[in-house]
Amino acid sequence: MDVKQIEALSSLITTSVAQLKELQGSLKTTEHSASTARAEFLKPSLQVVAAASQLIALVRTPERYLMDMSTAHQLSSSLRVVVETNVVEILREKGKGPKKALDIREISGYNRVNHQKLGRVMRLLATHHIFEEVSPNVFANNTISSAMDTGKSLAELEASPEEKYDGSNGIAALVGLFSDETMHNSVCIADILKAPETTNSFSPFDAPFSLAWPGTRNIKMYDWLSLPENRPRLKRFGMAMNGMNSMTPSDAILRGFNWSSLPQGSIVIDCGGGVGSVSLPIVQTCPHIHLIVQDTERVVAEAPAFWQANQPEALAQGRVSFQAHDFFQPQPAVNNNVAVFLLRMIMHNWPDAECVQILKRVRESSNRNTRIVIVDNIMLYASREQTIAGQDTGSSDPDALAPEPLLANWGAANSLSYKQDINMLSNHNACERTVPEFAALLSQAGFRIVEVHQAHQSWLPQIVAVPV
């Protein structure tokens, strides 16, 4: 056992906890979510999580550690059960006593899941700090399970199950997406990676998704989600994207590229921008910018209602407009003087060849002052060494790396990025990328990187590139 490293990690935990205590002292609340969501808490809490996870890997026997990891799918499956059978909402609405707890038989009376089986599912989750087992077979929500509360009453859930996630924070929908579609797809990763005919393919049609469901061999996941029979899945997917955004500070888009530096009247195009919710802070803080939101016809049709609800004056003043546009096609001719093309969470959905096609379409409409801002995960290597000889790694932000003896990429504290990378593989045969990988794609389309905003304070980093 590496006692020296164990000591270094526990001392890092001690100093990080002291920082958290000092920060907490400056707040008027002891509420868990009020503090951990704040930007200044991020670095010390990341340090605690990274150090504690590394400590566990060091002190657990290797066999035990491997068994913990290889059975982790049971957590996903159990989460899917509780989300799809409304356990969180049942406990919130029907729970008794100060903790709002319920015996498993009573929970079962509401969702009609066998109480013995549901109890075992709940106990696994409570064993991992999701729900509390307050006494034998009696469960209550805790801060973590409550994050999956859609806020709906049981009567509403019963009457309109398809609307379960509407108007929620999207976290239950995201848990649903990860533990249902994405988990199904990932079961087939090994089959796709081992088969000689698919292992070297980077076609979106050879994603593990293609083997995961009846009839998906020749269809891409987004097209499959759009089939009429998958309407509930598509609806949940849309809400899951909101869940992703709700985990990011609402002004994260402003923490990187300097939007206010753009000249008066500059046009910004949010490519594949959904309804434009991510660009809302840009329009709110930079009244001199004109925003065009582009997405598929079905998606942009929803956008005016979003802006009417959130920034009606920008809509009335014509500072935001909408275009149905396929980003694989040339930009409409009117978009000939664009200051910035924004692509947020677009590149990670597509294999390299498709990304280059999208970037080339953008390059065709760029002039020498045009910038492209890519907002996506930036992958770090787990090793301390981050550069590869002969590769353009761009300007890297040294604050992005974790301090020693942690893994340089923040280890398990940053595991969602690495799981998302495998999710992208499972769903689309796509990936999250390192700076050199982004640099390679951009250079094939005639761009070069000029800024990398990689700091962990903003969940999604930004890459700024210019035409060459």
Ligand X SMILES: C[S@@+](CC[C@H](N)C(=O)[O-])C[C@H]1O[C@@H](n2cnc3c(N)ncnc32)[C@H](O)[C@@H]1O
Map tokens 């079961």 to a residue.
Answer: 187
Within 345-374, the residues that bind ligand X by CB under 6 A are 345-346, 349
Q: Which of 44, 176, 204, 274 binds ligand X (CB under 6 A)?
A: 274
8-state DSSP, 182 = I
Amino acid at 16: S
Q: With binding defined as CB under 6 A, does residue 278 bind ligand X?
A: yes
Stretch that binds ligand X, among 24-32, 73-81, 291-299, 427-435 (CB under 6 A): 291-299
Q: Which of 44, 273, 281, 411 binds ligand X (CB under 6 A)?
A: 273
Q: What are phi and psi of 435, to 5 degrees?
A: -60, -45
Please report, for residues 76, 77, 148, 252, the alpha-carbon distance to residue 141 in angstroms, rounded to integers and kept in the order given. 18, 18, 10, 30
Q: What's the N-to-C CA distance of the chain in angstroms? A: 52
Question: d(Cα 310, Cα 321) in Å, to the nearest integer?
Answer: 14
Please report, for residues 77, 148, 176, 242, the alpha-carbon distance to residue 170 in angstroms, rounded to integers and kept in the order given. 19, 8, 10, 5
Q: With binding defined as CB under 6 A, does residue 257 bind ligand X?
A: no
Q: What are phi and psi of 178, to 5 degrees?
A: -65, -40
Write the CB contacts of 177 (distance below 8 Å, at least 6 apart in sequence).
236, 237, 240
Map tokens 């495998």 to a residue.
Answer: 422
Q: With binding defined as CB under 6 A, does residue 299 bind ligand X?
A: yes
Q: With binding defined as CB under 6 A, does residue 328 bind ligand X?
A: yes
Question: d(Cα 339, Cα 358) in Å, to the nearest integer?
Answer: 17
Q: With binding defined as CB under 6 A, does residue 241 bind ligand X?
A: yes
Q: How far is the CB of 145 from ligand X (least distance, A)?
A: 26
Judge contact between 372 and 359, C-beta under 8 A.
yes
Q: With binding defined as CB under 6 A, does residue 326 bind ligand X?
A: yes
Q: With binding defined as CB under 6 A, does residue 120 bind ligand X?
A: no
CB atoms within 10 A of CB 400: 21
Looking at the Cβ atoms of 222 and 381, the one nearer to ligand X is 222
Q: How far is the CB of 462 from ligand X (least distance, A)?
A: 12
Q: Which of 233, 236, 344, 433 binds ligand X (CB under 6 A)?
A: 344
Stretch that binds ligand X, among 29-37, 39-47, 310-318, 325-333 (CB under 6 A): 325-333
Within 59-118, the residues that bind ligand X by CB under 6 A are none
Q: How far is the CB of 375 from ligand X (least distance, A)?
A: 7
Stretch that binds ligand X, among 123-131, 147-155, 270-278, 396-404 (CB under 6 A): 270-278
Map tokens 């020749």 to a residue.
Answer: 218
Q: How far is the CB of 158 from ligand X (least distance, A)?
A: 31
Stretch that binds ligand X, among 11-19, 37-45, 340-348, 409-417 (CB under 6 A): 340-348
Q: Which of 110, 259, 306, 327 binds ligand X (CB under 6 A)?
A: 327
Tokens of 308: 């009417």
Length of the chain: 468
Q: Which of 119, 272, 351, 436 binds ligand X (CB under 6 A)?
A: 272
Question: d(Cα 458, Cα 124) in Å, to the nearest integer?
Answer: 32
Q: How far is the CB of 216 from ligand X (least distance, A)?
A: 18
Looking at the Cβ atoms of 177 and 346, the one nearer to ligand X is 346
8-state DSSP, 96 = B
Write the CB contacts of 153 (distance below 8 Å, at least 6 apart in sequence).
89, 93
Looking at the Cβ atoms of 119 and 243, the one nearer to ligand X is 243
Give bridge partners of residue 157 from the DSSP assignment.
Answer: none
Write the CB contacts of 419 (distance below 8 Å, at least 6 apart in sequence).
none
Map tokens 């503090």 to a residue.
Answer: 35
Looking at the Cβ atoms of 152 and 325, the one nearer to ligand X is 325
Q: How far is the CB of 255 from ligand X (least distance, A)?
A: 15
Q: One symbol per residue from 146 to 165: x for binding ligand X (CB under 6 A), - otherwise; what is it?
A: --------------------
Stretch that binds ligand X, among 70-78, 208-216, 344-352, 402-410 (CB under 6 A): 344-352
Q: How far is the CB of 456 from ligand X (least distance, A)?
A: 19
Within 185-224, the residues that bind ligand X by CB under 6 A are 222
Question: d(Cα 162, Cα 287) in Å, to the nearest integer?
Answer: 38
Question: d(Cα 425, Cα 212) in Å, to the nearest integer?
Answer: 13
Q: With binding defined as CB under 6 A, does residue 177 bind ligand X?
A: no
Stretch that binds ligand X, among 6-14, 165-173, 183-191, 267-275 (CB under 6 A): 267-275
User: Would you tell me which residues interact with ligand X (CB under 6 A)?
Assistant: 222, 241, 245, 272-274, 278, 295-296, 299, 326-328, 344-346, 349
